[in-house]
């Protein structure tokens, strides 16, 4: 069973003197457009795994996939003593884009969204620091991990930053104020407890942590991770479980529509939704938050999608439309 979430109701256009003739023209085109969509749905859409970004997208992206540093298949989706370490910044440390424009007017004006690009490209150089344990409420676990990588060596941390940049642009176009937990502006991390704290201190209206999975070959598709009810030590998710579930459902439904990608075939029972109580980024959040595993980097078919700029733009758009729908209610 494939999950389909709530539809996104786009902003209404301004009236124009040309509205009546345009309406007639559009009405004439609708049957053809619907026929075209039917064919698209029947064949599963175009294969855009070529890894080329659309020209003129105006989105800052990571370099083309290439071999990066060592990577493991674990993440905050992985598992005791000391406070979260404070990494040394390579560049001025900021949680929002240094070049981010002032929030535009739009349906999300006044809303704050925190994007958490999973891991950090420099984590593999700081094994001691990222292996230190932090309290996530239910247990202690590693500050952070290196994340996974494709079989060709393209790191998850590069993927997550690229998608985060694309998502930030789309949300800012809707008027939102967007903050990133890291923008490759620090040596490693931040730790999972700090990632949650950044969203909390920003009083985010919504937060999303972006990841890609490192499962076995043949395991395909995306899944959205929702926070379960936790009330233990510094963790108390009871107030955010319901709104986070709404957020996750909307993101999952729009992700399917935007990318044409099916929900995971190895977790979530075909719904694309999974509830967990072991993730520090969710346990310690006091704002509505979800994780998304966009696909499996260790499966060659999924990897071809994840390394495609066109597909990553569609993925960002699916997330954006889900967030917009959630924040507009």
Per-residue pLDDT of the chain (329 residues; tens, 9 = 90+): 433 333 333 334 444 444 444 343 334 443 443 333 333 333 333 333 333 333 333 334 344 454 334 343 334 554 333 445 445 445 444 444 444 445 468 999 999 999 999 999 999 999 999 999 999 999 999 999 999 999 999 999 999 999 999 999 999 999 999 999 999 999 999 999 999 999 999 999 999 999 999 999 999 999 999 999 999 999 999 999 999 999 999 999 999 999 999 999 999 999 999 999 999 999 999 999 999 999 999 999 999 999 999 999 999 999 999 999 999 98
Count structural domains, the chain. 1
Domain ranges, residue 198? 72-86+97-328
Q: Does residue 59 form part of some domain?
A: no
- The predicted model scores a pTM of 0.74
Nearest to 226 by CA among 48, 123, 59, 77: 77
Residue 218 resides in a domain: yes
Q: Taking a C-beta distance cutoff of 8 angstroms, is the pair 114, 195 a contact?
A: no
- Please check whether residue 123 is in contact with residue 147, taking contact to mean a CB–CB distance below 8 angstroms: yes
Q: Is residue 58 domain-resident?
A: no
**40 domain-assigned:** no
Catalytic positions, written as ranges: 293
Q: Could you give the C-alpha distances from 97 to 92, 115, 116, 166, in angstroms and in order? A: 11, 11, 13, 12
The CATH number that applies at residue 301 is: 3.40.630.40
Is 62 domain-assigned?
A: no
Decide if 13 is inside a domain: no
């Amino acid at each position: 069973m494939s999950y389909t979430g709530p539809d996104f109701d786009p902003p209404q256009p301004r009236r124009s003197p040309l509205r009546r003739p345009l309406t007639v023209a559009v009405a004439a085109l609708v049957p053809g457009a619907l026929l075209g969509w039917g064919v698209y749905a029947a064949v599963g859409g175009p294969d855009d795994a070529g890894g080329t970004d659309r020209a003129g997208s105006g989105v800052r992206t990571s370099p083309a996939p290439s071999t990066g540093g060592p990577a493991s298949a674990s993440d905050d989706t992985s598992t005791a003593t000391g406070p979260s370490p404070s990494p040394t910044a390579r560049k001025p440390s900021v949680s929002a884009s240094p070049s981010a424009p002032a929030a535009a007017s739009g349906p999300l004006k006044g809303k704050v969204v925190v994007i958490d690009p999973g891991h950090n490209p420099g984590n593999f150089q700081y094994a001691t620091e990222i292996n230190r344990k932090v309290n996530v409420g239910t247990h202690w676990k590693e500050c952070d991990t290196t994340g996974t990588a494709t079989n060709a060596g393209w790191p998850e941390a590069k993927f997550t930053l690229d998608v985060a940049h694309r998502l930030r642009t789309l949300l800012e176009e809707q008027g939102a104020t967007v903050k990133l937990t890291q923008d490759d502006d620090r040596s490693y991390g931040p730790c999972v407890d700090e990632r949650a704290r950044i969203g909390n201190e920003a009083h985010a209206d919504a937060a999303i942590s972006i990841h890609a999975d490192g499962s076995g070959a043949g395991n395909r598709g995306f899944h959205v991770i929702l926070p379960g009810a936790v009330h233990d030590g510094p963790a108390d998710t009871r107030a955010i479980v319901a709104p986070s579930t709404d957020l996750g459902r909307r993101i999952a439904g729009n992700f399917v529509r935007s990318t044409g990608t099916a929900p995971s075939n190895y977790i979530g029972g075909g719904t694309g939704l999974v509830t967990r109580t072991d993730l520090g980024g969710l346990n310690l959040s006091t704002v509505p938050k979800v994780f998304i595993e966009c696909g499996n980097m260790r499966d060659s078919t999924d990897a071809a999608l994840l390394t495609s700029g066109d597909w990553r733009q569609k993925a960002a758009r699916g997330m954006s439309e889900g967030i917009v729908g959630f924040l507009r209610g």
